Structure 1
Amino acid sequence: MFVKPAAAPALFTGPYALGTLSASGREAFPALIRRDGSVADLRRAFDDAGLTMLGVMEDWARLSSAFAELAARPSGDDPLVSEFRVHAPIAPRQVLQSGANYRQHVIDLHVAHRDGSDGLSAEEARAEAAQIMDRRAADDLPYVFIGLPSAITGPFDDVVLPAWAKKPDWELELAAVIGRPASRVPAEQALDHVAGYTIANDLTDRATVFRRDMPQIGTDWLRSKNAPGFTPLGPWIVPAQSVTALDDLQVTLQLNGETMQDESTKDMIFSVARLISYISQTVQLLPGDLVLTGSPAGNGMHWGRLLRDGDVMDATITGLGAQRTRCVAEVPA
């Protein structure tokens, strides 16, 4: 069930943001949302009836140069965003996802999964893990895997928990949206390829992360992360020039009103620039692609409380808006 955001436009930073909207029974369209909540249909603005948000990203250099002027125009009779359904802001071709990228989160995992045979106290184990994180940040490479675009859903849509998913968990993440192709770019130039940023909640079924039938294979991200609707995205793409404190954005998720994740992006082990640079050494990043940057401490496994039917997740990242999704158990056929 679609849940309209409360005063959502005021939650993004900068003069405007981009989104994908639809009116009842009508085709979704790419939109510019002003600070006052008024909406400019980008199909009309650029006289292109078939324009999508992916198309905007493919022509980012030309189209984005007109956004500031479009945002500054008097809204006049333009409709308000509250009159529309808000969809995921973009349908990407590729989704690249970073794992184990928040220092405190990985330290927590290191301590939680130790068997105690090392003879270290919990405090000593945390200190050891902290040293490992320092070495990793200095000398190692990010850990990145591939997600599926079909897992993406809107920021206010219900999330269906499949009957087979026994331990569904939340993972709130900052997502970068690529605005121009990136191949083998150095970290110093990586952010030049980013059009903007949005919010992603990368749901994971913890029960299927590891293959028990063939443990030597390791993790199974297809099964554990890519069910339909397991990646609520949006509501907005906030242009990169409006996100001035990329290394200190607060990532906050509440479950039924109780704060579960609340951490700054300064806790990242690998910066957004390093992630994009690393990915681009192998992958040809394309306009509209998503780079998810990892999730901070406070997942359900940490709290011993996983998602179930009726749960409501409220997610925010500083300056990027807010999403609200309700969990609904799958009804067996």
Structure 2
Amino acid sequence: MRVLSRENLGLGVYTTADVRHETNPLDVSFSIIIVNYNGGSKLLECVDSVFRYTSDFELILVDNASTDNSLLPVAKRFPQVIIVRNPENIGFAGGSNIAIKRSRGRWIVFLNPDTKVTENWLDNLVKCADSWDEIGMVQPKLLRMDGKTLDSTGHVFNFRTCFARDRGSGETDVGRYEVAEEVEGCSLACTAIRRELIAKVGLLDDKMLLFYEDTDFSIRARIAGWKLYYCPGSIVFHVRAGLTPLRDRGLLHRRAIPYRLRMILKSYSLSNAIKYGAFSIIISVAAGIKNRDLEYLMRYARSPLWNLLNLPIVERRLVQSTRRIPDTVLAHFHPDGSPHSKISRLAE
């Protein structure tokens, strides 16, 4: 196994210099990235499905100090997997950035350890994206393990609160989302991203240890002028938080509260950052009071202080330097004249 530490990889602020330039020799089509923390048997099932249904790829498995020995079966059965072990849990974004820096693929593909891919999953994603040069991110139809319940068909984004939700999550799949189309965000449970997009907008924000990384990256990609797409012809199954106890998920979401304000401060115009930053704090504190949720209220009360101590000055400069669309486009989503019919045929 390959053992690397956080220190000798120099994690920190994301910059475009951290990503291999698209003109460098890239000898595989896909770099599939899995970030693992105590994935148990689901990790092996995920990796097995990748090798069964994928070609021309490298698989980079980053382990965030797991204690369940979930790496061992993977290392024994699939010695070709590149394994990076971190001495501590540095979060999904931090682990992903390590893998991106050493990746060799023309496409960067994020995949959760509690997923299972299906036949032609990646080929169909790329067919969809290659039909239009401006498509920089594309996600499959994510289904729960029962094969009937939708997990995600892309993100729906609320500009005022900087909150995104998975479109269709929990609905029975009755054919409502069968057209390939532009979406406001992609779930990093499974999404393929062009390398040149990452080279343009930078790595994931590793200040966000858990949650909102995909919302943040989707916003930055859209600001830079890229299109994000949903491709129903690609199917991937997802346990959906199956590795985290229910009682812990609420606490983790509360700990991630400051990240929404961070996204606003980085990505919105200055006037909107002030306006909607204040709006986000006020309505969230009000919700905490109304619901008598002291933990929720305390997290929001601390959010401005955390963001002051972690002021994203460099990150904001990068986001704004890539800007090709105004905030009004983010706030009022209208998929433009993309070749839907062509993409739909390719996705079938």
The two structures have a TM-score, normalised by structure 2, of: 0.26
Higher relative contact order (CA 8 A, sep 6+): 1
Whichever structure has more helix as a proportion of its residues is 2
